[in-house]
Amino acid sequence: MPSVCVIGAFIVKIPRRYSLVFALLLSGLATAGAQSYTVLDLGTLGGTTSQAFAISSTGSIAGTSLIANDAAQNAFYSINGTSLVDLGTLGGLASVGSAINASGQVAGSSNFDSSSFNHAFLSNPNGGALNDLGTLGGSNSFGNGVNASGQVAGYSSITGNSTSHAFLSDPNGGHLNDLGTLSGGTSSFGNAVNSSGQVAGYSGTASGFNHAFLSDPNGGTLHDLGTLGGRFSFGLAVNDIGQVAGRSELASFVQHAFLSAPNGGTLQDLGTLGGSSSFGESVNDSGNVTGYSFLSDNSTQHAFLYTSNGGLVDLNNLIGNGTGWVLLNAEAINDSGMIVGFGTFGGQMHAFLLDPLLIPEPGVASLLVAGIGILGVCRLARTYASRSRWCAIQGSNL
């Protein structure tokens, strides 16, 4: 049977022997397109500002926003950028949604009474009720990452409040497990967790400076990722193959975003948007990194996207002119390429959602048309009664 593909207003019937050629032409069209995005204002919970910090594989979003009259700051949950749902607090005046999984479980931190102390939380699925995860014995804890099993990564003060340690909870926000520190360090901070329970973060070291780390699965031994030549580094995100994104000091004392090789391998300097510093915030399973960088004036901050093919790109150049937006920080990217963060719009700081669009490059589109034409020529080939060779492109008024 021939393969069939619909292109615009045409039904294209392709004999089996030409299917591979046609598939390659389509592949060229799909991969060579110039990336651009639509930008959506996520609005607020009634106040003046909002920030989005996380997006799940299903497009659900978590962040924080001021409420009406800017009276308090609450965590929010949103499905695909529709209206924001106020998650409330654990009893205090402020909460932040820092991470979200495909079930809509939001991890973050909240005041739990009238004091300034915070506790990590994990919500029920689909932005449900907040559950207090407690601490490692001290007064404060903060939830920064969550995986599909509901394992929450973060950090907490320990008994006596002398220092803080990274933790990984049991599934569904269960018992908090102290991950300890790198050799010689006294404090550590967990920022993200992947599906294997590998935690990325940073820890003090014998040198007195923090280094990025990646743990073994299920919060095992912490491994020092080193630096880009400077004194310190910070691990802020991790994907399912153990690539860690973050930032590190260089020997020149500036900081650059980095992406590690799989399983916490060698750190790659991602460069900047022209300024001295850049900061990696998130990484998806394709190794695409988002964050922010200073421009050449070293005072203007813009959100960036890094890909292995395109390098570091200013996201403000990919949303078109006249949107009214200045994208300041791209906090998270999912495996579909959807990006959330915050920027200025209408004179206020608002959370945004960027949805990728694919625009074919003219040369590639021409190649596809030429390829279809070549297949169509087969239709004009001499037909023999004993053997039929055909390739038809039939117009259709769809």
- What residue has token string 């990325």? 200
Q: Which of 14-18, 27-31, 95-99, 313-317 has the lowest mean pLDDT?
A: 27-31
Reduce the DSSP state of residue 259 to 3 states and report it.
strand
Over range 22-41, report the average pLDDT: 62
Q: What is the Cβ-side half-sphere exposure of residue 155, based on CA atoms within 13 angstroms?
A: 20
Count of helix runs (H) and strand runs (E) in the chain: 2, 31
Phi and psi at residue 187, to the nearest 5°: -135, 155
Over range 169-192, report the average pLDDT: 98
Q: Which of 107-121, 283-297, 377-391 has the lowest mean pLDDT?
A: 377-391
Residue 142 DSSP symbol: E
**Containing H/E element for 365?**
helix 362-377
Per-residue confidence (pLDDT) for residue 281, from 0 to 100: 98
Pairing of β 34-41 and β 222-224:
unpaired
Superfamily of domain 35-359: TolB, C-terminal domain (2.120.10.30)
Q: In whole angstroms, what is the distance from residue 153 CA to residue 197 CA?
A: 9
Contact assessment for residue 132 and residue 118, using Cβ atoms and an 8 Å cutoff: no
Positive or negative, the CA dihedral 197, 200, 206, 208 is negative
Every domain range in the chain assigned CATH 2.120.10.30? 35-359
- What integer best gives the mean pLDDT of the chain? 87
Q: Copy the structure tokens of residue 169.
A: 């909870």
Contact assessment for residue 268 and residue 306, using Cβ atoms and an 8 Å cutoff: no
Contact assessment for residue 315 and residue 307, using Cβ atoms and an 8 Å cutoff: no
Per-residue confidence (pLDDT) for residue 18, from 0 to 100: 46
Residue (of 38, 39, 36) closest to 360 by Cα position: 36
Per-residue confidence (pLDDT) for residue 204, from 0 to 100: 98
Per-residue confidence (pLDDT) for residue 1, from 0 to 100: 41
Q: In whole angstroms, what is the distance from residue 45 CA to residue 95 CA?
A: 13
Per-residue confidence (pLDDT) for residue 360, from 0 to 100: 54
- The rounded percent of the chain whose pLDDT value lies above 70 is 81
Q: Is 43 exposed, middle or buried (0-12, 13-18, 19+ CB in 10 A)?
A: middle
Residue 24 has pLDDT above 50, yes or no: no
- Could you please report the per-residue DSSP string of 68-98? GGG--EEEEEEETT-SPEEEE-SSSSBEEEE
What is the pTM (predicted TM-score) of this model? 0.83
How confident is the model over 67-82, as pLDDT tens digits? 999 999 999 999 989 9
Positive or negative, the CA dihedral 69, 75, 79, 81 is positive
Q: In whole angstroms, what is the distance from residue 116 CA to residue 54 CA?
A: 24
Q: Which pLDDT band holds residue 194 (cuts at 50, 70, 90)?
A: very high
